Amino acid sequence: MRIRVTKSLSLASEQEEVVGSNDLDEQALVAALKAGDRAACAVMVKRFSPRIYRVALKLMGDPDEAEEVLQETFISACQHVRDFEGRSSLGTWLYRIATNAGLMRLRRRKLETVSIDDPVELEDGEVAPRQLIDWGWNPEKHALNEELRRVMDEAIAALPETLRATFILRDIEGLSTAETAETLGISESAAKVRLHRARMRLREYLTEYFAAHRASVAERGDHDDARP
Amino acid sequence: MMTHVHSHEDCRQLLGMLSDYIDGELEARLCEEIEAHLADCENCRIVIDTLRKTVLLYQMPDPPELPEDVELRLFKALDLEPYLRKEPLAEPDEDA
Ligand SMILES: [Zn+2]
């Protein structure tokens, strides 16, 4: 049986931005997917692949591996769509498949290289700030340059995997705390603790960058801190 | 009764709540405590400002989305190539 993917459904794929919006269009899409409609599968891939790829790229820190995670995610999603119960949104379900696939690869990679556990984390859930330097840089005023993007990616890559996954889902992809927790299979309070640790570590990393940046700007006697 | 004698211990307690604070998920009473502390603690002001900026930075749009060749290979891997068209995304030709 073949269910036709309606025009409104494909239109929605262009417009929908919010992951959590579990609207009628999504229900129609899921119904078509469950009925084995190939066009529906294409709609799902088109709608969600940029987000899934972004998550995979940030998580893996490597384009080839990100692409493998991306393919794995959608192959698995198309095969197992009948298991999707619709309790979460389709987007959250896909994030879960992708995050699991990515984390599994990262663990395998680690086992193959050196067998050590995640870096030791502070027990009280805090990261004590070492750097207390004001950045003198304002995200609202400046566009991101390439160097800053690279440093931001490095900072993410330096996070332990579990913190990294939490931060990517919550702050980059904009999932709610509840959705993030559900995607990762952890409690909301655990998600909050991980998010806070991740943010504090990233803050520390970026502070080092901005401190060095400011020092070099001061040395040049240059007052433009946007550095093109 | 609350006094705002500033000690390192206050900072430590406050640090654990900062993410909830900047996300607006902290109850009003605790927000007031934090704001009172911030009024006379330069260090915590810096931490909160840079933490907020960290989150903002990562929320700024990241332009390169899905490269075309990656998308093409994805559709190939899924055996969905006939559906890969720039726009509009709808039915494949033979079905029209
Ligand atoms: Zn303080």
Q: A221 pLDDT band (50/70/90 cuts)? A: low
- The answer to whether the CB atoms of A139 and B15 lie below 8 A apart is no
Question: In this structure, are residues B35 and A2 in contact, taking their beta carbons and an 8 Å threshold?
Answer: no
What's the pLDDT band for B13 if we cut at 50, 70, 90?
confident
Residue A169 is classified by DSSP as I
In this prediction, residues B10-22 reach a mean pLDDT of 88
Q: Is the pTM of this model over 0.90?
A: no
What ipTM was assigned to the predicted interfaces of this complex? Answer: 0.78
- For residue B40, the CA-to-ligand 1 centroid distance in Å is 8
What's residue A146's pLDDT?
85
pLDDT score, position A23: 52
Q: Which residues does chain B have within 8 Å of residue A42's beta carbon, measured at their own beta carbons? A: 75, 80, 83-84, 89
What's A171's DSSP letter?
Answer: I
What is the rounded CA–CA span in Å between residue B78 and residue A46? 12
Please indicate whether, in this complex, the C-beta atoms of A137 and B53 are within 8 angstroms of each other: yes
Transcribe A83-151 into DSSP letters: G--SSS-HHHHHHHHHHHHHHHHHHHHHHHS----SPP--TTS-------------TTTSPPPHHHHHH
- Cis? peptide before B88, omega within 30° of 0: yes
B10 touches chain A (CB under 8 A): no
Q: List pLDDT tens digits, range A152-208.
A: 999 999 999 999 999 999 999 999 999 999 999 999 999 999 999 999 999 999 999
pLDDT tens, position by position, A89-147:
999 999 999 999 999 999 888 777 654 444 444 444 456 777 778 888 788 787 788 88
Rounded to whole angstroms, what are the CA distances from A18 to A28, A51, A89, A174, B18? Answer: 17, 11, 10, 8, 26
Decide: residue A128, CB within 10 A, 0-12 exposed, 13-18 middle, 19+ buried.
Answer: exposed
Q: Do A139 and B51 touch (CB under 8 A)?
A: no
Token pair of A147 as six digits:
């160097």
pLDDT band (50, 70, 90) for residue B27:
very high
CA distances to A9, A10, A26, A64, B26 from A47, rounded to whole Å, are 10, 9, 11, 21, 34
Burial class (CB in 10 A: 0-12, 13-18, 19+), A98: buried
Is the CB of B89 less than 8 angstroms away from the CB of A50?
no
pLDDT at site A59: 95
| Mean pLDDT of the A56-70 span | 94
Closest CB to B89: pick one of A42, A124, A129: A42
Q: A191 vs chain B: nearest CA distance in angstroms? A: 12
Question: What pLDDT shows up at residue B48?
Answer: 94
Q: Which one has a higher pLDDT value, A122 or B58?
A: B58
CB contact under 8 A, A75 and B78: yes
Find the CB nearest A50 among B49, B56, B66: B66
pLDDT digits (tens, 9 = 90+) for A152-168: 999 999 999 999 999 99
**How far, CA to CA in Å, does A132 sit from each of A137, A200, A207, B10, B44?**
14, 12, 8, 16, 8
A2/A8 Cα distance (integer angstroms): 17
Residues in B touching A148 (Cβ below 8 Å): 57
CB-closest option in A13, A124, A195 to B89 = A13
